[in-house]
Structure 1
Amino acid sequence: MKYIYYDSKTGNVERFINKIRPLKNWIFIKINEETVAENKGHLVTFTTNFGEVSKTTEKFLLKNNEKILSVSSSGNMNWGKLYALAADKISEHYNIPVILKFELAGLNSEVETFIRKVEEIR
């Protein structure tokens, strides 16, 4: 079983997750600062404040980073070099591989890429 932990503020990540729900029988858990990851899984988050990791995601990772197999982040390409930078910062700090950066709520092709990459990770 695949576990997807996600953080959404404006609804973009939630909409991305909702595109995956009908396609895969995975377990989706919206995180908060107290969430404890009981199973290994994949993190989907967002980039905020022009290239920053959200406080909710940061607090989740402090307790659960060893359970996270990959990270993906939404972003806005209008931010240029800061686009989906949260994924890179998480990857660098916790040595978690980035599997996808997607624009806002993600295109169908990005949903397909995410599913394929998650399924490749054992």
Structure 2
Amino acid sequence: MTIAYYSMTGNIRRFLNGVDVDLPLFEVTEQTKTDKIDGPFVFITPTYGFGEVPDIVSTFIEENRDNIVGVAATGNRNWGQNFAKAGEHISERFGIPLMLKFELHGNEKERALFKETIERVGSIYENFGREKVQSY
């Protein structure tokens, strides 16, 4: 499993630097927004404006919708009901479970919760794409 993310301001990069998981990371940029990820991945997105999903994130998810198994979102609680709303929009539009909402670059408790959730999701998808073997 992979963790894909978009981090224009660096908050998500800082969040991931504080999470001790041994998974490949894929950063979405203008150059990689149409790249495909083979296999299951979770996606972390920021929220901008009044709860909008960044265009680059929408493009990436459209290209990779078949392999995304969960979404987490960051935002600023000052936005009230629109806090980390991008994660809700992605979840509703694509039928992807919303794993976590966290503020800015997260705190220790949020990073621990993300790690626990990633480990649980990873164990569910550890056989993703493997050929079935007949049991004896």
**How does the TM-score come out when normalised to structure 1?**
0.94
Equivalents in 2 of 1:100, 1:15: separation in Å?
A: 16
What's 1:69 paired with? 69
Equivalent runs, 1:25-104 vs 2, <5 Å: 25-32=22-29, 33-104=33-104
Q: Displacement, 1:35? A: 2.2
- Give SS of 2:21's match: coil
Q: How many residues align?
A: 119
Gapped regions of structure 1 (runs ≥ 5): none
- Measured against aligned partners, the alpha-carbon deviations of 1:38-63 in whole angstroms (never above 9, x if no partner) come to 12110011001220001111000111
1:24 maps onto 2:32 in alignment? no
**Larger of the two Rg values belongs to structure:** 2
Give the alignment's Cα RMSD to 1 decimal.
Answer: 0.9
Q: Displacement, 1:3? A: 0.7
What's 1:15 paired with? 14
Equivalents in 2 of 1:6, 1:106: separation in Å?
A: 14
Structure richer in helix, relative to its length: 1
Greater CA deviation, 92-101 or 112-121? 112-121
- Paired amino acid for 2:3: I
Q: Displacement, 1:90? A: 0.1
Percent identity of paired positions between Structure 1 and Structure 2: 34
Equivalents in 1 of 2:105, 2:17: separation in Å?
A: 10
- Give SS of 1:66's match: coil
4+ residue runs over 2 A deviation: none
Q: Displacement, 1:89? A: 0.1
- Paired amino acid for 1:26: L
- Give SS of 2:65's match: helix
- Give SS of 1:4's match: strand
Q: Displacement, 1:34? A: 2.0
**How does the TM-score come out when normalised to structure 2?**
0.84
Structure richer in strand, relative to its length: 1
